[in-house]
A and B are shown apart, each in its own frame.
Chain A
Amino acid sequence: MKLNLFVMLFALVYCINYSVAQQDSVKMVVAKNADVDSSGIDPKAQEAYNEGISAFESKKYDQAISNFEKALSIAPDFKKAQKNLAYTYLSAGKNEKAAKAFEKLTSDEEIAHLAYFELAVLATKRDSLDQAIGYYSKAIEANPAESKYHHQRGIQYFKKEDYESAVKDFTKGLAINTTSAEMYNDRGSAFRKMEKLDRAEADYKKAIANDPRFVVAYNNLGSTLREAGQHDRAIKTFNKAIAIDGDFHLALNNRGYAFFESGDYKSALKDFMKVTQLEPSYASAYNNLAAVYLKMKDYDKVVDYATKAINKNEQLGSAYYNRAAAYEMLRKLDKACEDWSNASAYGVSVADRYYGQTGCANLIEK
């Protein structure tokens, strides 16, 4: 019979009191059915806990927090309440409190890996990649058989541009979960970043084999082929992504890029135009329309579309660059200089050179 700690403690205390009072000894007998309530937790705490869950389910997180906190004030070791409180903090967006609550839970061996996982998630949200990696490492230590932890740590390494470590983690994760299309995709991308395009291609294909409707992997495979200069294959791959999801604007945009690089400006324009219809706020598509028109030497249209792109994303360096190139050809050098300056500020390094070559400093300062 399982007797919980509470019952035993209670019995002990009771016995002592009783014996002292009565000057004799009597054994506490526990009925066989006494383990029906195994929690040993004060019902008031349990009631507060249950009310907390009701509030949580109604998304009344503040009330739920108050209930769980009340439960814990009555029964501080009420594990379920501790856990629920931590998740409620999380749901309420009180991430700092959630982090503290999960830190407490890491002392419980049974759920330590879950707590570390949540701490890692919170670190990721703070963009603290190193912290996230640290927590995922602890989660892996506590539960090495969970492929998700390897996958997620790999993602953090990827974000840190430590692609070798990322590949190692993805590979471990895939050894546990051999059919994860997402992990194959992510490892493919890591290989792509390492310029191992053959291996990238192979992984993207495995991702697709495991999930034949995985448009993201098709898109990535298409882009890999485009970068390798295999425009025809790239276009065919993008076609497949678009056949699955005709509204997948990234694949349309990338196919447009592939058309552009293969010299088919008309098809490129068509794709980019479609993207602007699907995603009217997607600045890159307007920029790409501007880029095609720049190649076609239709400078007025370049200005038009690049301006639209900038209106949607005022930090889109390439749009400033393309518009500057058009302004130069329209012989509006003051505007070109201003745009090159902005393009340079937003990461287009070549714009800085053109700014200098055009003698912009003189033009503007005078």
Chain B
Amino acid sequence: MKKIIVLAILCFSVSALAQKEVVFDKKNFKDNKKAYKEAEDYLEEADELMIPNPFPRYAQALELYKKANDFNDKSSHVNFQLGLCYMNTAEKFKSLEYFEKSFKLNPNKHVDIHYYLGRGHHLKSEWDEAIQHYEAHKKRLNAKEQLQDMMKVNKLIFECKSGKELVKDPTRVWIDNMGGMINSEYPEYGMIMTADASEIYFTSRRPSTLGGGKDLMIDQYFEDVYTSNKFEGNSWIKAKNIGDPVNTKGHDAAVALSPDGSKMIVYIDDKGDGNLYESVREGNEWSKPKKFDEPINSDYHEASAWYTSDGKRIFFISERPLEKRGNPKDRDIYVAEWDAEEEEWIDPQRLPEEVNTKYDEDGIYVHPDGKTIYFSSKGHNTMGGYDVFKSVLQEDGSWSKAENMGYPINTPDDDVFFLVAANGRDAYMTSYREDGFGDKDLYKVTLLGDEKEPILMAEDLLLANAEAPSSAVVIEPKVEVKDQLAILKGIVRDDKTKEPLKANIELVDNETNEVVAEFTSDAKTGRFLVSLPGGKNYGIAVKAEGYLFHSENFNVKQNEAYKEVEKNVDLKKVDVGQSIVLRNIFFDLNKYTLRDESEKELMRLTKLLNDNPSLKIEISGHTDSRGSAAYNKELSKNRAKAVVDYLVGKGISKDRLEYAGYGEEQPINSDAEISKLKRRAEIEDAHQENRRTEFKILEN
């Protein structure tokens, strides 16, 4: 259904655009008889050249048709013939334009017009249009009677489909004209080279051909072998004709070069037989080519050939039949071994179907790696004519499936003579391109390989913290700088005899009122020794049986590395008239209320009275001289009474207790003595000493 629609559109467009044909008939050119006559002559001559004899002479006919067409461009015939000529000469792409015009002028003039329109589009890689015309052409064929034609057009449709696929994924190449030192306005093709591609030979049809003759059949110079090299620097030197004996006055074409450039294989037509010859380099000269013996040459056509890099095998193209004396076959690739002992090529083998097809293979080239062959084939998935393929000899001796080298190396036209240098990147091919020097030129193909995938950078913090962990810097805090422990030492003795006494000693932290040490002095020596923190005020109480207790306060200063405090205590016996100062009885300023820290001293006093029930004592209060005498007397009396009251409260009989207030009457330090003191602290200490509570034994 789709095809019908396509054809309908095709026919509609043709009829819509149809122009009126003007055939070459003198009736149509009555006004210009002379010019017509001239044009008609061109036409007749051109038509004659198109008769195969044995081949149509397209190039010559083309020029004449052009002249006829200049006179009358509305001839369907002339346009068609122009299309045919272009199709069979260098500028193939131009053919479509003339076939289309011929068709427009007269769609029914040529029965095969859709075939040629298909070919024209095919050559221009216009796959869908080509297929449409091929399909249209098929409809005009009788499948039974024109089976070969049917098969031929089916093959072309297959080629278009292959082409359509191949161009979707172009081979990454640069194709560069080899330049004016190699190419010319004349055809260059069939390049061969040494393995390092430093020396090349190629075939060209130039005026400099040996003898300067032309092949009149095709109106082109005879083929000759030319050479160039880039031995010095990176540029090719101007190509030159290698002269005789390789080149002759006829067609001479080089088809292969040994990897080291010491031998060349030359193709010689041999009147249609087509044989391979070998020339050997002697110094800078080539020897006269010598024909290969059988089995390389045969009664059939041999064309291209190539040596392996080790020189032990030769690949060549031959049309020989599979059986002896059979009909010529299509061109296939064969390989023969070199018998070093017999010094001859032996055992030619036809390469398998992975390489050879039922269509022609040609243009064999063996890569210097010795296992990769490049060849051209009209079979496999060619996109038209010969395409270049590659196959690799596997380790098991088999060949890999032929791989199309892809677009743009291959085109819908013939693509032959493809060489790849040892580096695998530089290749050479023959091509006709509009940007060339004219006709076929030699091109360098840079095989870029697969597209180079970009490299992106991703970065993760795989470890949440890959750095060295933070040091756990934990600085110990400051310490409170304490005094060195102080040492309190001393001797307890009898006040009168000075004999050592074993006494109980109590040490009180006056701040906390806590007893911080209880111990006895040594019985023999009366010594005692105690370590205690500095920076405090201590109360010391010394008691011995039969003696009045002794109490005293002292400070151990702070911030001294080491401190010794010596307290020698002389205890008084419990005798009438003895008196002691109760230094650890404290009152608030100007008051007679006993302070809590007096408790320990009062308890000691209580215990003394309890231990000595016959004791009768007087408690006396004393003040310093500051304040009025009367006030001081009253205050000291009340303070003495407070002590007595305490003792009574503790169960001591009132009868045993007397009290008196002496105010400032009995100072320890007289005002005269105090007045001599200069330092305030000393003055204060002297007054402090005068403020005291005493007791005296009245009876025992």
Query: What residues of chain A have their CB less than 8 Å away from a CB belonging to chain B?
Result: 7, 10-11, 14-15, 18, 22, 24-34, 36-37, 39, 41-44, 46-47, 49-50, 53-54, 56, 80, 83-84, 87-88, 90-91, 114, 117-118, 121, 124-125, 148, 152, 155, 158-159, 181-182, 185-186, 189, 192-193, 214, 216-217, 219-220, 223, 226, 250, 253-254, 257, 260, 284, 287-288, 290-292, 294-295, 316, 318, 321-322, 325, 328, 331, 348, 354, 357-359, 366
Contact = CB atoms under 8 A, between A and B. Distances in A.
B468 A124 contact: yes
Contacts of B559: 43
Nearest to A250: B459
Contacts of B516: 31-33
B522 A84 contact: no
B17 interface: no
Contact of A87 (B461, B475, B517): B475
B459 A220 contact: no
A186 B464 contact: yes
A257 B531 CA distance: 78
B32 interface: no
Interface in B472-506: 472-485, 487
Contact of B533 (A36, A185, A193): A36
A156 to B, nearest CB: 10
Nearest to A39: B479
A152 B469 contact: yes
B534 to A, nearest CB: 9
Interface in B434-481: 448-449, 452, 454-466, 468-481
A132 B275 CA distance: 81
B527 A80 contact: no
Closest 4 CB pairs of A and B: A37-B482, A291-B454, A31-B532, A284-B457
B524 interface: yes
Interface of B: 174, 234, 423-426, 448-449, 452, 454-466, 468-485, 487, 507, 509, 512, 514-517, 519, 522, 524-525, 527-533, 536, 559, 561
Nearest to A288: B456
18 contacts: A29-B529, A31-B533, A37-B482, A37-B483, A37-B485, A43-B481, A53-B476, A83-B474, A83-B476, A121-B470, A148-B469, A152-B469, A158-B462, A158-B463, A186-B462, A253-B459, A294-B452, A328-B448
Nearest to A214: B464
B460 A31 contact: no
A22 B69 CA distance: 152
Given A33-B533, A148-B469, A46 B517 contact: no
A220 B466 CA distance: 14
A219 B460 contact: yes
Which of B455, B458, B517, B525 lies at the interface centre, i.e. has the most chain A CB atoms within 10 A of its CB?
B455
A94 to B, nearest CB: 13
A46 B462 contact: no
Contact of A43 (B462, B469, B561): B561
A328 B448 CA distance: 9
A46 to B, nearest CB: 5
A29 B519 contact: yes
Contacts of A28: 529-531
A354 B452 contact: yes
Given A32-B517, A43-B483, 12 more contacts: A10-B531, A25-B522, A26-B525, A30-B532, A31-B533, A90-B471, A220-B462, A223-B460, A253-B457, A254-B460, A284-B459, A322-B454
B517 A117 contact: no
A96 B473 CA distance: 16
Given A121-B469, A220-B460, A42 B561 contact: yes
Nearest to B515: A32
A33 B532 contact: yes
Given A31-B516, A159-B466, A357-B424, A91 B473 contact: yes
Contact of B452 (A26, A47, A328): A328
Given A87-B473, A192-B462, A366-B234, A318 B456 contact: yes
B479 A34 contact: no
B475 A34 contact: no
Which of B174, B482, B509 lies at the interface centre, i.e. has the most chain A CB atoms within 10 A of its CB?
B482
A50 B479 CA distance: 7
B461 A219 contact: yes
Nearest to B452: A325
A254 B456 CA distance: 10
A84 B527 contact: no
A80 B476 contact: yes
A288 B452 contact: no
Given A34-B533, A37-B485, A43-B483, A294 B454 contact: yes
A32 B530 CA distance: 10
A260 B455 CA distance: 11
A80 B479 contact: yes
B535 to A, nearest CB: 9
Contact of B481 (A32, A50, A152, A321): A50
Contacts of A42: 484, 561
A271 to B, nearest CB: 11
Contacts of B528: 26, 29
Contacts of A294: 452, 454
B485 A318 contact: no
Contacts of A316: 457
Contacts of A148: 469
Contact of A56 (B423, B475, B483, B532): B475
Nearest to A188: B462
B543 to A, nearest CB: 16
Nearest to A183: B464
Contacts of A27: 519, 522, 529
Contacts of B519: 27, 29
Contact of A34 (B469, B480, B515, B532): B532
B461 A117 contact: no
B471 to A, nearest CB: 5
B532 A287 contact: no
Nearest to B425: A357
A266 B40 CA distance: 65
Given A24-B525, A357-B424, A30 B472 contact: no
B234 A43 contact: no
A39 B517 CA distance: 21
Contacts of A186: 462-464
B233 to A, nearest CB: 8
A193 to B, nearest CB: 8
Contacts of B530: 28-31
A91 B473 CA distance: 8
Contacts of A217: 464
Contacts of B484: 42-43
Nearest to B476: A80
A22 B527 contact: yes
A331 B174 contact: yes
A193 B464 CA distance: 15
A30 B454 contact: no
A33 B457 contact: no
Contacts of B514: 32-33
Contacts of B449: 357
Which of B462, B484, B519 lies at the interface centre, i.e. has the most chain A CB atoms within 10 A of its CB?
B462
B483 A24 contact: no
Contacts of B536: 33
A253 B459 CA distance: 8
Contacts of B561: 42-44
Which of A27, A88, A250, A260 lies at the interface centre, i.e. has the most chain B CB atoms within 10 A of its CB?
A27
